A and B are shown apart, each in its own frame.
Chain A
Amino acid sequence: MSDSHISPYSLNDLKNTTDDALGNYLRGLHFKQDNSKLDFRLAIGYTAVVIAAVTFVADYKLGWDATKNGTAVAVAAYAVLNGVFTYWLYFVEKGLIFEGNREGRKISLASRTKKHTPTYFLTVTSSSNQSRELECPFTTWFTEDGYFVAKPFQQWLASTVDVIGGADVKSVGKSEAESSVVPEAESNGTPSASGADAKSKGTKRSKKKG
């Protein structure tokens, strides 16, 4: 159990804590994290900030008249970079929280929440580029007081995502969580056998007192 706790009513805190835990769990299983998308966003963002900073210093030192034309160019460049930044954040990253690979198998995880619904929606994209969206109520791994419990979370992940199940065999098949698999792809890919079993064995898990 973690020492710190969050408000179990804040959907934002629930999602962020779960996202962080997922990252820590996968890195602990020796998944090699691919940060290229985040790095690109950071590069674009900090370049824009540097352009703004240079414009500020030039204007402060040289005054308005001397820097007029340079400022016009800088403003245009900043607008373009900001546009690229926003596009990247909303359309390319799109809720991505972990991307990496282990033993040649790639995995990409994106998460989201729906307003007023205490459910964690996780979109899993495997090496074959097929996505499926999993959902699980936050009550599965959060206590009533807002403490995060790692074990049920890891069991749910290992049971429903076969790449993770392959890495953490101990946690597979023990999940009692009520989780459902909502396939997004038209064709039926290769759903994990353990995932289907966990679904059929699923019992309703009530709130666990911390």
Chain B
Amino acid sequence: MFSSIASLQPRQLAAQVLNFALVLSTAFMLWKGLSVFTNSSSPIVVVLSGSMEPAFERGDLLFLWNRGMDTQVGEIVVYNVRGKDIPIVHRVVRRFGGGSAPLQLLTKGDNNAADDTELYARGQDYLERSKDVVGSVVGYVPFVGYVTILLSEYPWLKTAMLGFMALTVVLQRE
């Protein structure tokens, strides 16, 4: 199997490695391009909990848009709790400010009994639209996100997938 690349000239080997590198970098740049287009640091997220049932279930894939800065009550937003890296997807239930004053939001999960005041960082009573919100949900695909959940719960899967991809692209000469 490896004899097909063992006999290559150095330039040809460099070309094969370049093919694999381009697969990775194009995937990454497409992701970054989407980020730039939507103005969101993470334009596609996976729902991890059942706090928004029946609207969204665990494993749903959500598409975000972060260019609508005048978020209304009833919109579903994804936000990061200050100081933590966990994104939460909940619905906006109250607005403060807006217009000339910076917009602040209070959120609550549809399936939760209480609003998100308990979830925010200590001393934080509301979200800043410009700083904490990653984007508003504009569309979703059910169930497809389970692949991402699997990859994050079993990290060896990521390495295995990447290794397999590397083998097939570098050894294939088409």
Contacts and interface: CB of A to CB of B under 8 A. Distances in A.
Interface of A: 4, 12, 16, 20, 23, 35, 38-39, 41-42, 45-46, 48-49, 52-53, 55-56, 59, 63-65, 68, 71-72, 74-75, 78-79, 82, 85
Contacts, number: 62
Contacts of A4: 3
Interface string B18-41: 100110111011001101100101
Contact of B32 (A20, A48, A59): A59
10 contacts: A46-B18, A49-B22, A52-B24, A52-B26, A53-B25, A59-B32, A71-B35, A75-B36, A79-B29, A85-B22
Nearest to B27: A52
B22 A45 contact: yes
Contacts of A42: 11, 14-15, 18
Nearest to A3: B3
Name the prevailing secondary structure of the A interface residues: helix
Interface string B146-174: 00000000000000000000000000011
Interface of B: 3-4, 7-9, 11, 14-15, 18, 21-22, 24-26, 28-29, 32-33, 35-36, 39, 41, 173-174
B173 A12 contact: yes
B36 A72 contact: yes
A49 B26 CA distance: 8
A38 B32 contact: no
A56 B9 CA distance: 30
A12 to B, nearest CB: 6
Given A4-B3, A16-B173, A45 B9 contact: no
A55 B29 CA distance: 9
B144 to A, nearest CB: 24
B92 to A, nearest CB: 22
A160 to B, nearest CB: 25
Residue among B11, B14, B29 with most chain A CB within 10 A: B29
B9 A55 contact: no
Contacts of B174: 12
